[in-house]
Structure 1
Amino acid sequence: MSPAHALSLPAVLDRLDRLTDWEKRPRGGMRVGLDPMRDLLARLGEPQAPLRVIHVGGTKGKGSVCALLEAGLIRAGLRVGRYASPHVESVTERVCLQGRPVEGSVLASALARALDAHEAARRDATAGRDATWFDVLTAAALTIFGEAGLDWAVIEVGLGGRLDSTNAVDGEVAVVTNVALEHTEILGATRAAIAAEKVGILKPGAALVTTLAPEDEAGAVAAARAAALGCPTLRPATPPGASIAEENAGLAGLVLDHLGRRGALGRDGAPLRAGLLDGAARADARLPGRLERRRIRHAAGPVALVLDGAHVPFNLAAVLRDLAREPGLPGPCIALVALAGDKDAAGFLAVLARHGASVIATEMPERRGHAAAALRALAAAEGMEAEAVAAPDAALTRAAGLAAQRGGWVLVTGSLHLVGALRAATEVPGTQGVV
């Protein structure tokens, strides 16, 4: 391997991209199992072993809950790492130290070591030879965290939980935010089956924190798993109709309170607590592409725009509910939509139809997804005004033009990959740069 100072992140990513990346492929044939991941970590010296971990899974909200936990722990004066997926604009977003993406050189060095471990496993014909793109990236992140002297690592599940690469860690708290039908070809066709996969991140001695009620189909499965392991189950007392932000903060606050009761302290010696999530911490926890207010310039004037990577119907419904309470989004919604091929496109578009949106359907090159024409047809079947514009940048121009013409606003949704592709073409409200 080249010396660390000579490593280039693009060159190392080129090595990484030769591995199987299930974020870009149909997932029906996805390899499941933790043996390759465990082999990589053993070859890297078990970097995850000393980490105190909060492990966060669920259908939606897990990234925001992780960011809130990170912000609260930093507010307590602690040294924190956060691992997240997918990224919006740069792969370095996936590995954060103290709330900031790691330097490219740091990630390059760790990735090179993880890739070398993968190549050694191939030579030795051990389980690590089957490691995927996500396995290697996760191993690199854990290597960075293990060497950073962290007080806590906040780890977001990639897909599912039980067999996800991140489940090589032992969390002191397992969070399952919620459960909806997604990735059914891998996780199962019912919410109960999916819950069984997601609650697989719960380990003996840990606590389960979830919004799932015990009488709920998925909640009953999660509660049974916790009872079988002798783990307490904690649920936040969020009021009916709470916003997405309030629900996420309720979960993160409950985790901090639980850890504080168990003796976890901040740098000042005070127990961890929900009160660490004050206004400043919540502001620090805002993530790109999650209810993110932006605008796009148009000849007729700036057009209000929201970026949100919602990709399942229940989360889109919550996004639209919360946006309906927001000022500055007058007139009709023009929804710019791309969806992965394993998403419930009909259900997703039906939610938009109930809110009276018009649709510009697009697609992401090199991503397994619904064709723009197919999305347009599904939207039309719901009685919606819909167009298909396959190229995302041209689709954004068309959506902005319609919104300007009608005095409306644009919602870019369905995929964080779409959000990442278009975010640079937008600007923060109030800025003067031309896009």
Structure 2
Amino acid sequence: MQEPHFRLAEALSQLDQLTNWEQRPRGEMRVGLEPIVDLSARLGDPHRAFRSIHVAGTKGKSSTCALLEAGLRHAGISVGRYASPHVKHISERVTVNGWPVEDQVLAEALFLALDALKAARRDATAAEAATWFDMLTAAAFLIFRDAGIQWAVVETGLGGRLDSTNIVDSDISIITNIGLEHTEILGKTRAAIAFEKAGIIKSRTIVVTPLEADDEAGAVIAKRAAEIDVRLIQPDFSGLKTIAERNIAVAGAALDALGEFGLTAREGEVVGGWLIDEQAKLDANLPGRMERFVVPAGGRAVAVAIDGAHVPFNLEAVLDDLSGMEGFSGPGIAVVAIAGDKDAAGFVEVMARYGVSPIFTSVSDRFRSPAELQALAKAMGLESEVIEDPKAAYEKALDRAGASGAWVILTGSLYLAGLLRDHVMMQDAMSRKR
């Protein structure tokens, strides 16, 4: 029998022949649910085999999903989580009871989806246009069904209304926040983007969002909730200072809502936000999100953070949080790569405001050129460097930090985090052995 990792590589090789909008300029993107609906029907509609919580938003949706997963596991409930993108390995996107899916299981689910695609091409039905993300979404739902998952926590890929994940008939919808992102697809205003993300809300269910009705985006969500008879819950953020605290409040409100459905934990207690204890918080830590390390350079210990922040308000929140953490006071140096569909000018403006000196690098052709980013920085009076190779850019940042007493952050993209994270972790581990 073929080794599991070779079997998965074979499935992914076939998958990579399909359109993958995560790797292409998204301005050309055409979206719709018809392909995933047809594909799922050919697979027996696996998404109908479990109940679900559907999560959209510009910032914090992955961490919120991980908190929900950890809380439900704590309750003794069988849970799956579907997320994107991954930092290191594709199995990060599909977890079953807190564990990344095994290579063999993912491979076989993908081959079933590929067989359905071949049948759709033969019959010339909608699924013949299925994308890379459609296929992976269908495979994830197959895995959840076959594992006997009771609840799935499903993160949208892009937007919501027309996202492949929106075939789930969710009990609870969460919209964490709204910022300007993917504007060429979702719209040029926060209200337009909110309309797309609010498309995940199903009638007569519950929606959780911290956005107030007098907010431009919050008004759109409140209107949608009223139109389709949905109860709207707004967690209280007063006194909460960090991203992590706000994510916990959102996830806790959703768990409280599940308790109102009558869902109980293993000891018969009603499910609620109390499930997010210290262990659940640890279990919910994700790669590339507010990770902190200590790396030796220039005879001193340099604080290094990795966060895949990719929109301005996201970066601002990260920098605010870091400013209160040990090792991150004073000037910072950022290694930055920004995708072509992101608000690069806004991102650079935040760095200028916080006194963070950028070294611009590149990950792929889908990213803005470092020279273009440097020109933006120059126009704002912010000094910067261009180093095309990400690892070389990071080492230069580390050398400068060691010499100047600064700290370092790798940001702008989870793909950049994935490229450099193992190297930073190895340096951190070596420093701890000394």
TM-score category (smaller protein):
over 0.9
Work out whether residues 294 and 428 of structure 1, in 8 Å CA contact, stay in contact via their aligned partners in 2. Answer: no
Quote the residue 2:393 is aligned against. 395
> Map of 1:312-351 to 2, 5 A cutoff?
312-351=311-350
The one-letter code sitting in structure 1 at the alignment partner of 2:423 is A
Structure 2 vs 1, CA of residues 405 and 299 (structure 1 numbering), >3 Å: closer, same or farther?
closer
Quote the residue 2:192 is aligned against. 193
User: 1: CA distance between counterparts of 2:371 and 2:308?
Assistant: 21
The one-letter code sitting in structure 1 at the alignment partner of 2:424 is T
Quote the residue 1:237 is aligned against. 236
Q: Deviations over 1:305-362 (max 9, x none)?
A: 1000111111111110010010122442001100000111111011011111111000
The one-letter code sitting in structure 2 at the alignment partner of 1:380 is K
Q: Tell me, what secondary structure is at the counterpart of 1:189? A: coil
The one-letter code sitting in structure 2 at the alignment partner of 1:321 is D
Structure 2 vs 1, CA of residues 326 and 6 (structure 1 numbering), >3 Å: closer, same or farther?
closer
Work out whether residues 36 and 128 of structure 1, in 8 Å CA contact, stay in contact via their aligned partners in 2. Answer: yes
> Bigger CA drift: 263-272 or 162-171?
263-272
Quote the residue 1:184 is aligned against. 183
Pick one of 368, 384, 387 that aligns with 1:386.
384
Quote the residue 2:413 is aligned against. 415
The one-letter code sitting in structure 2 at the alignment partner of 1:86 is P
Quote the residue 2:67 is aligned against. 68
Q: Which runs of 4+ in 1 moved over 4 A?
A: 2-7
The one-letter code sitting in structure 2 at the alignment partner of 1:61 is G
> Map of 1:49-88 to 2, 5 A cutoff?
49-88=48-87
The one-letter code sitting in structure 2 at the alignment partner of 1:235 is Q
How far residue 123 of structure 1 moved from its aligned partner, in angstroms, is: 1.0
How far residue 31 of structure 1 moved from its aligned partner, in angstroms, is: 1.7
Structure 2 vs 1, CA of residues 121 and 55 (structure 1 numbering), >3 Å: closer, same or farther?
same
Work out whether residues 298 and 403 of structure 2, in 8 Å CA contact, stay in contact via their aligned partners in 1. Answer: no
Structure 2 vs 1, CA of residues 415 and 230 (structure 1 numbering), >3 Å: closer, same or farther?
same
User: 2: CA distance between counterparts of 1:353 and 1:297?
Assistant: 26
Query: Unmatched 5+ residue regions in structure 2?
Result: none
Q: Tell me, what secondary structure is at the counterpart of 1:336? A: strand
How far residue 6 of structure 1 moved from its aligned partner, in angstroms, is: 9.6
> Map of 1:240-251 to 2, 5 A cutoff?
242-251=241-250
Work out whether residues 315 and 350 of structure 2, in 8 Å CA contact, stay in contact via their aligned partners in 1. Answer: yes
Structure 2 vs 1, CA of residues 5 and 314 (structure 1 numbering), >3 Å: closer, same or farther?
closer
> Map of 1:35-184 to 2, 5 A cutoff?
35-184=34-183
Q: Deviations over 1:51-84 (max 9, x none)?
A: 1100000111100000000000001111110000
Work out whether residues 312 and 346 of structure 2, in 8 Å CA contact, stay in contact via their aligned partners in 1. Answer: yes
Structure 2 vs 1, CA of residues 145 and 4 (structure 1 numbering), >3 Å: closer, same or farther?
farther
Quote the residue 1:255 is aligned against. 254
How far residue 303 of structure 1 moved from its aligned partner, in angstroms, is: 2.5
Quote the residue 1:372 is aligned against. 370
Quote the residue 1:202 is aligned against. 201
TM-score (norm 1): 0.96
> Bigger CA drift: 295-304 or 269-278?
295-304
Work out whether residues 7 and 105 of structure 1, in 8 Å CA contact, stay in contact via their aligned partners in 2. Answer: no
Seq. identity, %: 54
Q: What is the number of residues matched between the two proteins?
A: 432
The one-letter code sitting in structure 1 at the alignment partner of 2:287 is P
How far residue 385 of structure 1 moved from its aligned partner, in angstroms, is: 1.9
How far residue 393 of structure 1 moved from its aligned partner, in angstroms, is: 1.1
Quote the residue 2:429 is aligned against. 431
The one-letter code sitting in structure 1 at the alignment partner of 2:413 is S
User: 2: CA distance between counterparts of 1:65 and 1:109?
Assistant: 29
User: 2: CA distance between counterparts of 1:429 and 1:241?
Assistant: 33
Q: Tell me, what secondary structure is at the counterpart of 1:112? A: helix
How far residue 5 of structure 1 moved from its aligned partner, in angstroms, is: 7.0
The one-letter code sitting in structure 1 at the alignment partner of 2:352 is A
Work out whether residues 7 and 109 of structure 1, in 8 Å CA contact, stay in contact via their aligned partners in 2. Answer: no
The one-letter code sitting in structure 1 at the alignment partner of 2:392 is A
Q: Tell me, what secondary structure is at the counterpart of 1:88? A: coil
User: 2: CA distance between counterparts of 1:85 and 1:297?
Assistant: 32
The one-letter code sitting in structure 2 at the alignment partner of 1:381 is A
Work out whether residues 83 and 95 of structure 1, in 8 Å CA contact, stay in contact via their aligned partners in 2. Answer: yes
Structure 2 vs 1, CA of residues 297 and 16 (structure 1 numbering), >3 Å: closer, same or farther?
farther
The one-letter code sitting in structure 2 at the alignment partner of 1:234 is I
RMSD of the alignment, in Å?
Answer: 1.7
The one-letter code sitting in structure 1 at the alignment partner of 2:373 is L
How far residue 294 of structure 1 moved from its aligned partner, in angstroms, is: 1.9
User: 2: CA distance between counterparts of 1:7 and 1:405?
Assistant: 45
Structure 2 vs 1, CA of residues 428 and 251 (structure 1 numbering), >3 Å: closer, same or farther?
farther
Work out whether residues 19 and 132 of structure 2, in 8 Å CA contact, stay in contact via their aligned partners in 1. Answer: yes
Q: Tell me, what secondary structure is at the counterpart of 2:119? A: helix
The one-letter code sitting in structure 2 at the alignment partner of 1:404 is G
The one-letter code sitting in structure 2 at the alignment partner of 1:399 is A
Q: Deviations over 1:369-420 (max 9, x none)?
A: 1101111121122222200011111111111111111111110000000000
Quote the residue 2:308 is aligned against. 309
Quote the residue 1:218 is aligned against. 217
Work out whether residues 4 and 103 of structure 2, in 8 Å CA contact, stay in contact via their aligned partners in 1. Answer: no
Q: Tell me, what secondary structure is at the counterpart of 1:81? A: strand
How far residue 119 of structure 1 moved from its aligned partner, in angstroms, is: 1.3
The one-letter code sitting in structure 1 at the alignment partner of 2:331 is P
Work out whether residues 57 and 177 of structure 2, in 8 Å CA contact, stay in contact via their aligned partners in 1. Answer: yes
User: 2: CA distance between counterparts of 1:6 and 1:416?
Assistant: 23
Work out whether residues 331 and 406 of structure 1, in 8 Å CA contact, stay in contact via their aligned partners in 2. Answer: no
User: 2: CA distance between counterparts of 1:4 and 1:15?
Assistant: 17
How far residue 206 of structure 1 moved from its aligned partner, in angstroms, is: 1.3
How far residue 271 of structure 1 moved from its aligned partner, in angstroms, is: 1.0
How far residue 266 of structure 1 moved from its aligned partner, in angstroms, is: 1.5
The one-letter code sitting in structure 2 at the alignment partner of 1:343 is K
Work out whether residues 181 and 194 of structure 1, in 8 Å CA contact, stay in contact via their aligned partners in 2. Answer: yes
